[in-house]
Amino acid sequence: MDTRSVGIVETQYATLFEPPNELQLDSGEKLGPITVAYETYGTLNQERSNAVLLCHALSGSAHAAGYHEGDAKPGWWDDMVGPGKGFDTDKYFMICANVIGGCSGTTGPSSINPRTGRPYGLAFPVVTIADMVRVQRELLRYLGINSLLSVSGGSMGGMQVLQMAVDYPEMVRSAIPIATAPLQSAQGIAFDVVGRRAIMSDPKWRGGNYLSFNDPPLDGLALARMVGHITYLSEMSMRRKFGRRLQDRERYGYDFSTEFEVESYLYYQGDKFTQRFDANTYLYITKAIDYFDLTNGKRSLAEALRGVRSKFLVIAFSSDWLYPPAQSKAIVSALKANDVDVSYCEIESDYGHDAFLLEVEEQERLISNFLAAVARETVISDPH
């Protein structure tokens, strides 16, 4: 095991928003009780001032770092979270929670509806990024944390970072949104729509009630993942990784079997995804992403960010065409218009959108230095 690993970890669970104190959702509906799956790494100091919240992307979970007992693979951001890493668990108390609507322990469409005793399915209310952040805030309150040294995440996680800085400016000392955008673009919505249609067109989806038949729409979910996964790569990374190479053959078969390496790779990614993810959760989370728009009801992004007090580090990647650098630069410009302390770094990378999970070395340097500067200003004590 990596000497900089946090080691064996366990997912914990909190029950929040118990009736009559249900969560008021943006849709107008109420939801409660809500179970939240979360993990923590490191030690909270006496002043409770060294807490850092990590927000996961579409397919992520609370398991950001370390290993679950018996697992061969670590958490989704293990390269960045641990002793001496970018998010240094010798210095900071890290928290990561599965979002509401998820399928990795937090209440979502596959959870049991207490009113019916059956899975929610499409009876689960539609949620937004702001709803996810409200649940995160309540979890922090449950943990006795009223101030965050920082909040960070990539992609949809970055959207949560922005939303939290806007909605809870008094508690977020710094923010690190990575490979994200202030709103979901028409192109992003278009890809999400195709993914949702793939799932809902699978005969086994059964109007969202497939759990009652124990026969989920795996083909539709795999296809949705294949489409989504293309957006995470770049043309250059695909050319370098696959080119036009054939899989296990030397010449064309002149049929419709899997022939190219890139075909085989996408089929593999789609099938692997179905082993750990719920089809309805894919619908709900992509819909939450599509609804995300900080400028909604505002005249400009600058107006939307007017109340922000956090110090910002905004990171983008040159070959990311899902959330291109121009969208991060728009965030930076709007923050500067409000005299917010903001640093911007565009990392040269061929990995596309997935670079936020793969370009570790430069992110480690940027994030560790940024957090150290914020910590010096906050005067946090040694957690040990």
Rounded Cα distance between 310 and 149, Å, is 10
Contact, 273 vs 59, CB < 8 A? yes
Q: Rounded to whole angstroms, how far apart are CA atoms 240 and 286? A: 29
Cα(63)–Cα(37) distance, integer angstroms = 9
Kindly give the residue spans of alpha helices, DSSP state H, lying in the chain: 129-142, 156-167, 186-200, 218-232, 235-241, 261-274, 279-291, 301-304, 325-337, 355-358, 360-378
Give yes or no: 167 in active site. no
What does the buried/exposed string (b/e) look like for 196-234 if buried means 16 or more CB atoms within 10 Å of the residue's CB? bebbbebeebeebebbeeeebbbbbbbbbbbbbbebbbb
Per annotation, catalytic residue among 5, 104, 353, 354 = 353
The reply to whether 320 belongs to the active site is yes
Q: How far apart are CA 105 and CA 1, in angstroms?
A: 26
At residue 50, the 3 state secondary structure works out as coil
Nearest 5°: CA angle at 222, between 262 and 284? 130
3-class SS of residue 136: helix
Choosing from 155, 310, 319, 328, the catalytic residue is 155
353 is catalytic: yes
Catalytic choice (219, 320, 350, 354): 320
CB 347 within 8 A of CB 315: yes
Distance between start and end Cα atoms, the chain: 23
Residue with the two structure tokens 């390269």: 79
Structure tokens at 29: 């509906």
> Per-residue DSSP letters for 177-197?
EES--SB--HHHHHHHHHHHH
Gap between the Cα atoms of 98 and 34, Å rounded: 12
Q: Write down the number of H helices and E strands in the chain.
A: 11, 14
Q: Which residues are catalytic?
A: 155, 320, 353
